[in-house]
């Protein structure tokens, strides 16, 4: 229930940010600067905010700091839509960190092994798409803002009731997960490594690998275009494929295991990107390529269990770095559908090297 509400709020928050960027802040002049500042605040600041949240919450999974961060983020987003892209981005960052950590907590309580993560992150893409349509179209911004205010305040009130005044205790799954992973360990205990196995080296390898995969995912998602995506309805189909890919990635990683999910999805994505001028192949490429999004997040918050906020923010820094070349119109050595093939193959090679984290 908590994840469902945060997922809806994620859709609304990202929609408001996109609508404000493409209407108010895109018409003020200094468009490039406004977008860069917003994206820096929205993505890069998630890491320090996440680190602060981890310190405040500590080992106590009952502390309500994630809700406070998310609620403050929602308020700042609503305010920033009229004030400044800086405030808008800070609000977005606070909400994502708070909502992400609360989702991770619920996933651990229910022992759903990462299924909740894909559900939380997926609606953001649809919110950005629809918000951009509002911001660049003929729909008046002010009525949309008024409706959004109501649709955000009501879920926040429900979250407050659920978190601060729960009517029933959290129910643990009766059976242990099929695959032994860190998701079924108590909060505060990091997944152990055997003594003398180079824990620091493997931790650095994991962080670097997941970070690179996120950069490639961000860059590919923004830089690869499709000839068939030439209408609003075709664009809606493409965004729907992205959303479904993120949701299914978390589900399949929990049921099939991470290794099979990574191999099947990225190998399939590389093949589909090669023929992505075809509508069906292009949609499948988007769906399969985005399935690793919740997997990389699972791998980090599983390994670094006491730092869910930091790990959540760490990966969003990668999203920002992948966004920069596109926003700055830099020349890429590989472009078009072949960038999708390249990114899929490199991501596959990087992730299968993380064998310790793939069960």
Residue 196 has what pLDDT? 47
Question: Residue 347 — very low, low, confident or very high, per pLDDT cuts 50/70/90?
Answer: very high
**pLDDT value at position 203?**
87
3-state secondary structure of 116: helix
Q: Lowest-confidence range among 145-149, 196-200, 268-272, 329-333?
A: 196-200
Query: What is the distance of C-alpha 160 from the center of its chain?
Result: 23
Distance between terminal CA atoms of the chain? 27
Is 90 exceeded by the pLDDT of residue 93? yes
How far apart are alpha carbons 216 and 223 in whole angstroms?
Answer: 10
Average pLDDT score over residue span 33-54: 95
- Residue 149 pLDDT class (50, 70, 90 cuts): confident
- Greatest CA separation found in the chain? 63
The per-residue pLDDT of the chain, averaged, comes to 87
Is the model's pLDDT at 69 over the cut of 80?
yes
* pLDDT for the residue 181: 46
Neighbours of 96 (CB within 10 A): 30
The CA-atom distances, in angstroms, between 100 and each of 70, 94, 132, 133, 357 are 9, 10, 23, 26, 21
- As a whole number of angstroms, the distance between CA 31 and CA 53 comes to 32
Residue 257 DSSP symbol: -
Report which secondary-structure segment, H or E, holds 171.
Answer: none
The predicted model gives 293-304 an average pLDDT of 93
| Residue 37 contacts residue 86 (beta carbons within 8 Å) | yes
Residue-level pLDDT at 231: 92
- Give exposure, 70-90, as e/b (b: 16+ Cβ within 10 Å): bbebbbbbbebbeebbbbbbb
- C-alpha triplet 62, 121, 136: angle, nearest 5°: 130
Read off the pLDDT of each residue in 51-67 and give the average, rounded to a whole number.
85
CATH code for residues 198-359? 1.20.1250.20
Q: Which pLDDT belongs to residue 28?
A: 66
Best-predicted range by mean pLDDT (124-138, 179-193, 261-275): 261-275
pLDDT for the residue numbered 291: 96
DSSP letter, residue 27: S
Selection from 18, 53, 13 nearest residue 38 by Cα: 18
**Mean pLDDT for the stretch of residues 237-247:** 96
Section 245-257 average pLDDT: 94
Q: What is the pLDDT of residue 355?
A: 72
Residue 139 — very low, low, confident or very high, per pLDDT cuts 50/70/90? Answer: low
Mean pLDDT is lowest, of 61-70, 190-199, 259-268, 327-336, for 190-199
Asked if the 1-166 domain carries CATH number 3.30.450, the reply is no
- DSSP letter for each residue of 185-253: SPTTPPPP--TTS-HHHHHHHHHHHHHHHHHHHHHHHHH---TT--SHHHHHHHHHHHHHHHHHHHHHH
Q: What is the pLDDT of residues 176-221, one digit of tens each?
A: 444 444 444 545 556 554 444 557 888 889 999 999 999 999 999 9
Is the pLDDT at 169 greater than 70? The verdict is: no
In angstroms, how far is CA 233 from the centroid of its own chain? 24
- Tell me the three state secondary structure of residue 28: coil
User: How many angstroms separate the CA atoms of 330 and 319, rounded?
Assistant: 16
Q: Where in the chain is the domain with CATH 1.20.1250.20?
A: 198-359
Residue 267 has what pLDDT? 97
How many whole angstroms separate alpha carbon 33 and alpha carbon 150? 31
pLDDT value of residue 173: 41
Angle CA(11)–CA(316)–CA(50) in degrees, nearest 5?
90
pLDDT level of residue 350 (50, 70, 90 thresholds): very high
Which of 25-29, 77-81, 246-250, 264-268 shows the lowest mean pLDDT across its residues?
25-29
Q: Which of 290, 234, 12 is nearest to 127 (CA)?
A: 12
Question: Does position 312 have pLDDT exceeding 50, yes or no?
Answer: yes
pLDDT above 80 (res 109): yes
> What are 321's two structure tokens?
């770095």
CA–CA distance, 189 with 236 (Å, rounded to integer): 42
């Amino acid at each position: 229930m908590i994840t469902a509400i945060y997922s809806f709020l994620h859709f609304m928050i990202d929609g408001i940010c996109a609508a404000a960027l493409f209407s108010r802040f895109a018409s003020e002049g200094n468009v490039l600067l406004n977008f860069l500042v917003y994206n820096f605040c929205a993505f890069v600041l998630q890491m320090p905010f996440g680190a602060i949240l981890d310190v405040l919450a500590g080992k106590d999974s009952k502390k309500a700091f994630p809700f406070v961060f998310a609620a403050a983020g929602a308020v700042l987003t609503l305010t920033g839509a009229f004030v400044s892209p800086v405030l808008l981005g800070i609000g977005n960052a606070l909400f994502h960190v708070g909502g992400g950590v609360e989702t991770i907590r619920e996933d651990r309580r229910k022992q759903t092994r990462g299924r909740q993560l894909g559900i939380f992150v997926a609606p953001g893409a649809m919110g950005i798409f629809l918000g951009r349509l509002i911001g660049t179209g003929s729909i008046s911004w002010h009525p949309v803002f008024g409706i959004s205010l109501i649709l955000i305040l009501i879920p926040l009130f429900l979250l407050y009731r659920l978190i601060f005044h729960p009517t029933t205790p959290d129910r643990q799954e009766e059976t242990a997960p099929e695959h032994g992973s860190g998701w079924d360990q108590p909060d505060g205990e990091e997944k152990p490594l055997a003594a003398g196995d180079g824990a620091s080296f493997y931790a650095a390898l994991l962080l670097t690998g997941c970070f690179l995969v996120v950069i490639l995912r961000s860059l590919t998602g923004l830089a690869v275009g499709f000839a068939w995506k030439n209408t609003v309805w075709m664009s809606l189909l493409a965004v729907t494929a992205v959303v479904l890919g993120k949701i299914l990635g978390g589900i399949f990683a929990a049921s099939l295991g991470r290794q099979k999910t990574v191999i099947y999805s990225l190998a399939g994505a590389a093949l589909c990107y090669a023929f992505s001028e075809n509508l069906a192949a292009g949609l499948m490429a988007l769906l399969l390529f985005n399935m690793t999004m919740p997997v990389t997040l699972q791998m980090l918050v599983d390994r670094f269990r006491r730092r869910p906020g930091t790990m959540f923010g760490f990966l969003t820094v990668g999203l920002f770095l992948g966004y920069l070349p596109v926003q700055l119109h830099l020349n890429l050595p590989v472009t078009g559908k072949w960038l999708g093939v390249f990114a899929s193959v490199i991501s596959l090679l990087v992730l299968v090297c993380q064998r310790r984290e793939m069960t």
